[in-house]
Structures are given as C-alpha cells and as structure tokens.
Amino acid sequence: MSRSFLPPDVTPARYDAIRADTGLWMAAVGEIAGRHGLPPHLRPVDGGTNCLAVAGNHHIIKLFPPPLAHQYLSERAALVALKGRLPVETPALQAADQLDGWHYIVMSRLDGVPLEDVWAHVPEAGRLDMMVEIGQLMACVQALPANDLAWLEPEWHGFIATQLERCVARHQRQGLPPHMLAGLQRYLDGNAHLLPRPFIPTILTGEYTPENLLVQHQDGRWQLTGLIDFGDVMTGFGEYDLIGPGAFLCGGRPARLARLLDGYGIAAAERSGRLRSRLMLMHLLHRYSDFDAQLRIHGWRNRAHDLDELARIVWPVGE
C-alpha cells in the first residue's frame, strides 16, 4: 500500500495548521523530489500562501492545498503563457501533477533577490528608474494575447460586483479609520462608473509587488531581472495591476508614480482626477486590499479627512 503524505480533506482553517507543520509537508516535498529526480537537498521557503521549498540550487517545488486548486491552475497556465515572452525571466515549468489530492508544480529557480530585500538601499534615482522598468514590464505582459488565459477564474465583471458588495465589510474588519469608513459606500457608489465596460481584457498578475519582482546588481545599479508568483493571474482591466507597485513602492511620491505611469504608457494628458479616483476605487476593491499592510506613507490615517483626500495622498495625479 502506498504511503499518504498529505491530508486530502483540507479546510482553509485546517490548512493554516498544516502549513505551520513544516515537517509534515516537507515529507511530501521529498516524495515529489524523488519522483522527478531532483536533488535531495531540500529546504522550505518562508512566506507566501502556498507551501514552497527549494530543491538543490535550481528548482522550486510549490504545493497547492485543495482549497487553492484555482491558484495551481493559474500558475501553471501563466508559466506556459509568459515563458520567453517578457524582457525579464519567469520560471520554467518543469513538472505539474498531484500528490494525495494536492496539486504541485516543479519550476526553475531564478537568479536574483526580491526587490523588497534591497529597496531601502536603492538611491532615489535608482528607484525612479525601477518604477519605469516595472511599468514597462506590466505593459509587456498586457500586450500579450489574453485569450489563452481568459478561462481563469474569477471573471472580471463578476469579480468586481462581488468586491463592491463586500468592500465595506472588508475594510471595517481591517480597521479603516472611522471617518473614512463612514464615507466608503458613498465613494464606491460615486465612482463605480469609472471602471470601463466594455473594454479589451488584458493579463493581470495582481503581483507586481516587491516580494515578487526579482532584481540583480548589474552595471553599477539594481535592475529588474525576474517576475515570480502567478497564482492570482486572471484577465481584466489593465490598470488594476498598477495597485501593487503604486501602493508598495510609490509611497505617495508624485515622481515615482509618474515614472510608473510613464513606463506603463499612460500619457500625461490622461493623468486626471478621474484616473486618481479610478485607481483609488480599484485599490479599495483589490482582492488583497489592506491599507495598513500596503501603504508606506507615514501618518496616512491622520493626514486625510476622507477618501478623496486619501486618494490625493496615495495616488497623486491630476492635480
């Protein structure tokens, strides 16, 4: 009788405990490594939603529990769709299968370090250059045909409808300041029309964040060299993907946001209050929206009296 490594019936609550039990799922990683002839030297990787481990120096094993099977589908499809088509590296898909009802992917490990690890040490001129590179990378991804990934869930319009319905409760749980929370439904109602319908869908990763952008020090400066983590890939309105780098990296600084928009391709004439309000709306509706975790702007809670003022602080365009 074959050995079972992972519990097949996993609820989201139970998964948290399983993920914390590194010895349990690393035994499964060892089984996967043996299946595919990978080096036996294995080590877990902290962080992330799924169970992640490095095999040797050149391979990544990513385990997806049953409740996150949709992330497996997204990651596998995106790795195939993006490989070799971008100005930076993406992991090469080496294997995809199941173990005890859990999906897994084996992929190549990229060179470089997460931008998050070095951002504090990058001079401001280098940060401005990096914002342009990130915007250009996003534009390259979104220039690719989206049809091959259009089947991925969630469907954009249904997703937005659900996010609008749940938005107030979400930000109430997360502790949005009461004076902003009081006007949240009014802000949503007043700006929902800014999301275009119809439009041409593009590939969205939702993950242009400093943890998933890899950089290397080349020619005397830090340069963007890799993009990882595609478990949240979907198709939809392109500007949605500006939220990650805008929130985590721009820090409310007009010059950084301007360079991001330069790279992405939004002309200066289009940088109006309408764009600012739309970006703020999508920030509120983002599937991982969490202002306390994302906004690296000192004192933002007390600097804004309402969401319009907060939008001017976080998304300083159109002034």
C-alpha span between 73 and 232 (Å, rounded): 9
Helices (H), ranges, 21-107: 22-35, 69-82
Q: Convert the pLDDT of each residue in 40-68 to its tens digit.
A: 999 999 888 999 999 999 999 999 999 99
pLDDT at 13 over 90: no
Please give the helix or strand (H or E) that residue 106 lies within, else none: strand 102-108
**12-108 and 113-314: same fold?**
no
- What is the overall mean pLDDT for the chain? 95
pLDDT at 3 over 50: yes
Average pLDDT over residues 263-277: 96
pTM of the model: 0.94
Please, which pLDDT band fits residue 2 given cuts at 50, 70 and 90?
low
Question: What is the reported pLDDT for 141?
Answer: 98
Least confident segment among 13-27, 104-118, 168-182: 13-27
- Indicate the DSSP class of residue 110: P
Angle, alpha carbons 20-101-26 (nearest 5°): 35
In the block, tokens 């990650």 appear at 244
CA-CA-CA-CA dihedral for 54, 247, 241, 258, to nearest 10:
-120
Question: What is the reported pLDDT for 287?
Answer: 95
CA-CA-CA-CA dihedral for 251, 213, 151, 149, to nearest 10:
120
Residues in the chain: 319
Question: What is the reported pLDDT for 1?
Answer: 46
pLDDT at 318 over 90: no
Give 300's contacts (C-beta < 8 A, 6+ positions apart).
252, 291, 310, 313, 314
Which residues, in sequence order, are bridge partners of residue 204? Answer: 234
Give the 3-state secondary structure of 50-61: CEEEEECCCEEE
| 112 conformational bin, left if phi > 0, alpha if psi -120 to 50, beta if neither | left
- The amino acid occupying position 150 is A
Q: Which CATH code is given to the segment(s) 12-108? A: 3.30.200.20
Question: What is the reported pLDDT for 210?
Answer: 96
CA distances from 300 to 176, 281, 310, 313 (A): 11, 17, 7, 8
Question: What is the reported pLDDT for 59?
Answer: 98
Q: Convert the pLDDT of each residue in 206-259 to its tens digit.
A: 889 999 999 999 988 999 999 999 999 999 999 999 999 999 999 999 999 999
Are the C-beta atoms of 259 and 131 separated by less than 8 Å?
yes
In the chain, where are the structural domains located?
12-108, 113-314
Question: What is the reported pLDDT for 307?
Answer: 97
Please, which pLDDT band fits residue 4 given cuts at 50, 70 and 90?
confident
C-alpha span between 144 and 150 (Å, rounded): 12
Residue 38's SS3 state is coil
Q: Which CATH code is given to the segment(s) 113-314? A: 3.90.1200.10
Question: What is the reported pLDDT for 203?
Answer: 98
- Indicate the DSSP class of residue 109: P
Are the C-beta atoms of 315 and 281 separated by less than 8 Å?
no
In the block, tokens 């199941």 appear at 98
Are the C-beta atoms of 313 and 304 separated by less than 8 Å?
yes
